[in-house]
Amino acid sequence: MNDNNSNYSLKENNVRLTGDNFEVWYTIIYDALYINKLNIYIDKDVLKELEEKNSNSDELENAKIENKKARLFILNSIGSDIIKNVIKLESAYSIIKYLKGEYGESETDMLYWAKKIADLKAKTIKDIPKILTKLDNIFENMKKNQSFPFQIRKNQNMLTIHFLLDLGANLNSMLTKPTNNYVRE
């Protein structure tokens, strides 16, 4: 399934999952696994499927080796405080499923995307097409990662943008202007 010339080292890429950078980490890991033709091992539980189909032993053994490559690739890119939670999981799919549940599918995703949208600024009129393309990419990533708690329809994008910009602005003001509202004297 994989050629012997593939490089499973992350030395060229120093991105490690720390917990608050899941989206960036996952995108890089997925692309690296895709290039090495190992992404199928995080897209679905290949080993379980082959065992259920009673596949021949050679096919199952090859899948186990490829799964180990994907697993090792993932484990080498995880911080030591996170790795202890997934080290006993055997399939690359199980590891990714756990990490998505722990770090990827939460309110932090919504804040991440809100910040990405709030950071988009056009300096000139010529920048507007670039900004719109980036905005479209953000919405595609949100849909792909199922970060939104509700379905976005094409005609709702502008309303959603307004909501996220407002959310980002409110979050930004809360972080930059500390208040003593909760402190009693």
Cβ-contact 96, 86 below 8 angstroms? no
In a domain, 41, yes or no: yes
27 SS3 class: helix
In a domain, 113, yes or no: yes
73 SS3 class: helix
- If asked whether residues 96 and 167 sit together in one domain, one would say no
- The yes-or-no verdict on residue 180 having pLDDT over 60 is no
In a domain, 5, yes or no: no
The percentage of the chain sitting over the pLDDT mark of 90, rounded to a whole number, equals 31
Kindly give the residue spans of alpha helices, DSSP state H, lying in 92-150. Answer: 92-99, 107-118, 128-145
In a domain, 181, yes or no: no
- Nearest Cα residue to 176 out of 96, 107, 106, 115: 115
And the tokens for 104?
Answer: 């990827």
Residue 38 confidence (pLDDT)? 94
- If asked whether residues 72 and 98 sit together in one domain, one would say yes
Of 58, 76, 104, the residue that ends a domain is 104
And the tokens for 58?
Answer: 């050679």
- If asked whether residues 70 and 131 sit together in one domain, one would say no
- If asked whether residues 96 and 111 sit together in one domain, one would say no
- If asked whether residues 96 and 114 sit together in one domain, one would say no
Residue 102 confidence (pLDDT)? 80
In a domain, 80, yes or no: yes
Q: pLDDT tens-digit profile of 24-34?
A: 899 899 999 99
In a domain, 9, yes or no: no
- If asked whether residues 55 and 35 sit together in one domain, one would say yes
Give the whole-angstrom CA distance, residue 91 versus residue 109: 25
In a domain, 34, yes or no: yes
Q: In which band, very low, low, confident or very high, does the pLDDT at 182 lie, cut at 50, 70 and 90?
A: very low
Match 């799919």 to its residue by tokens.
93
Contacts of 111 (CB under 8 A, 6+ apart): 167, 168, 171
- If asked whether residues 96 and 55 sit together in one domain, one would say yes
Of 57, 89, 104, the residue that ends a domain is 104
Q: pLDDT tens-digit profile of 93-142?
A: 999 988 987 887 555 566 667 777 777 887 888 888 888 888 877 777 66
Radius of gyration of the chain (CA): 20
**Domain count for the chain:** 2
Residue 155 confidence (pLDDT)? 53
- If asked whether residues 97 and 56 sit together in one domain, one would say yes
Match 């600024």 to its residue by tokens.
121
Residue 129 confidence (pLDDT)? 83
- If asked whether residues 90 and 128 sit together in one domain, one would say no
Separate counts of helices (H) and strands (E) for the chain: 9, 0
- The yes-or-no verdict on residue 70 having pLDDT over 60 is yes
Residue 59 confidence (pLDDT)? 93
- If asked whether residues 64 and 128 sit together in one domain, one would say no
Give the residue-averaged pLDDT of 36-62.
92
Match 């980002």 to its residue by tokens.
168
Cβ-contact 87, 75 below 8 angstroms? yes
- If asked whether residues 127 and 141 sit together in one domain, one would say yes
- The yes-or-no verdict on residue 49 having pLDDT over 80 is yes
Cβ-contact 69, 102 below 8 angstroms? no
- If asked whether residues 113 and 74 sit together in one domain, one would say no
- The yes-or-no verdict on residue 185 having pLDDT over 60 is no
In a domain, 27, yes or no: yes
* Segments forming the whole domain that contains residue 86: 22-104
